[in-house]
Amino acid sequence: QSEHESPASAAAVLDGWTLVYSGKVRDLYVESSGIETADAAPSLETASRVLVVASDRVSAFDHVLEPGIPGKGALLTTLSLWWFDRLRDVPNHLVADHELVGNSVRELIPAAVAGRAMLCRTLDMYPIECVVRGYLTGSGWKEYRQSQSVCGIALPAGLQNGDRLPEPIYTPAWKAPMGQHDENISFERTVELVGAQVAAELRDLSLALFATASAIAEQAGVILADTKFEFGADRQTGVTVLADEVFTSDSSRYWDAEAWKTGTTPETRMASFDKQIVRNWLAAHWDGAGTPPVLPSEIVEQTAARYRELLERLSRA
Ligand code: ATP
Ligand code: MG
């Protein structure tokens, strides 16, 4: 079996690993058992470790687009690792990516995906997307215009798209099973889903993580406008663990602080370090019917450059 990746950023075939899930952007693998029988098939349910591989795929409006953004998987993985390292007060899902065999070190992450993969403990994931918003835009802005509230949280009148909120708010969403759209829910609904204690823990951890990261981003001249976390329960201890990707430009909106201060239109205020360039281009060139058009190379390059700039700015600060 060879380790290769097709140009269309399809999931890699990895010797010793079994692909158990492909999301729009990431591929999950567990260690192959060697003895593959129907009732001992490798699965997320039984594996203690999961390899989370970020591809170069880019999605917008729930469609995976062609081509991918070269280097995106590695950049997003580096961003996650960079942030996990700065948020060590909260337990996270990373585990050692090497093992000692006798007196030699064995790398566990296959060379073919090195740099864009994280080895993690498999958790029982909570079906909640823990969204925190420090600024009003996107679906929050849409909801605000209809009801002057977001996820049941009342907000002051007169806010504009891109405005800073009086304080960051927790606006959870229900993580719909594959193929369905995630749905904004109230805090009370999260209590029904995971119990009062865990619901409060997810909210408090999310708000605390957001406050810490916003302060760090600010030093880099970057606004962290909003973000989404996922948490899971440790299978042995039940402890709540920070999982998935964290503060990447796929899971967060990042804006240039200077542009936000001086900008006069939503476009110039929200100069973003994420795939907004892709969303804007697509919105102007596609009516949503059939297959989305292929991204032009200048859009691909501009997007890649913005992703790179975010990492440079953060790591310089
Ligand atoms: P979409 O295509 O809409 O993004 P998705 O969120 O399921 O769907 P990805 O984000 O590409 O797709 O895949 C990552 C998946 O891995 C998520 O379902 C996430 O809940 C899961 N996950 C992340 N960390 C862990 C972990 N430590 N244990 C188990 N599952 C995890
Ligand atoms: Mg996801």
24 lines ligand 1 (CB under 6 A): yes
Q: Look up residue 236 and give its amino acid.
A: Q
Alpha-carbon span 37 to 42, nearest angstrom? 9
- 160 contacts 263 by C-beta, under 8 angstroms: no
The tokens of 190 are what?
Answer: 């999260």
Q: Is the CB of 28 within 6 Å of ligand 1?
A: yes
- Among candidates 224, 222, 229, 198, which has minimal Cα distance to 211? 224
SS3 of 277, please? helix
Query: Does ligand 1 come within 6 angstroms of the Cβ of 91?
Result: no
Q: Identify which of 9, 27, 28 to mutate to test ligand 1's pocket (most ligand atoms within 8 A of the CB).
A: 28
CB 26 less than 6 A from any atom of ligand 1 = yes
Q: Say if CB 175 and CB 128 are below 8 A apart.
A: yes
Supply the pLDDT for residue 276: 87
Q: Which residue, judged by its Cα, is nearest atom 31 of ligand 1?
A: 244
Phi, psi of 276, deg, nearest 5: -60, -35
Q: Which residue's C-alpha comes closest to atom 18 of ligand 1?
A: 23
Q: How far apart are CA 28 and CA 42, in angstroms?
A: 12
Pocket lining: 243 vs ligand 1, CB cutoff 6 Å: yes
Q: 263 alpha carbon to ligand 2 midpoint, in Å?
A: 31
Is 123's C-beta closer than 6 angstroms to any atom of ligand 1?
Answer: yes
To which H or E segment does residue 315 belong?
helix 297-316
Protein residue whose Cα sits closest to atom 21 of ligand 1: 244
- Distance from first CA to last CA of the chain, Å, rounded? 43
Which ligand 1 atom sits closest to the C-alpha of 120?
27
Cβ pair 119, 49 in contact under 8 A = yes
Helix (H/G/I), strand (E/B), else coil: 119: strand
Q: Per-residue pLDDT for the chain (317 aa), expressed as one digit of tens each?
A: 334 444 447 899 999 999 999 999 999 999 998 766 666 789 999 999 999 999 999 999 889 999 999 999 999 999 999 999 999 999 999 999 999 999 999 999 999 999 999 999 999 999 999 999 999 999 999 999 999 999 999 999 999 999 999 999 999 999 987 767 788 999 999 999 999 999 999 999 999 999 999 999 999 999 999 999 999 999 999 999 999 999 999 999 999 999 999 999 998 999 999 888 999 999 999 999 999 999 999 999 999 999 999 999 999 98
d(CA 241, CA 305): 32
- The residues that bridge with 150 in the sheet, in sequence order, are 153
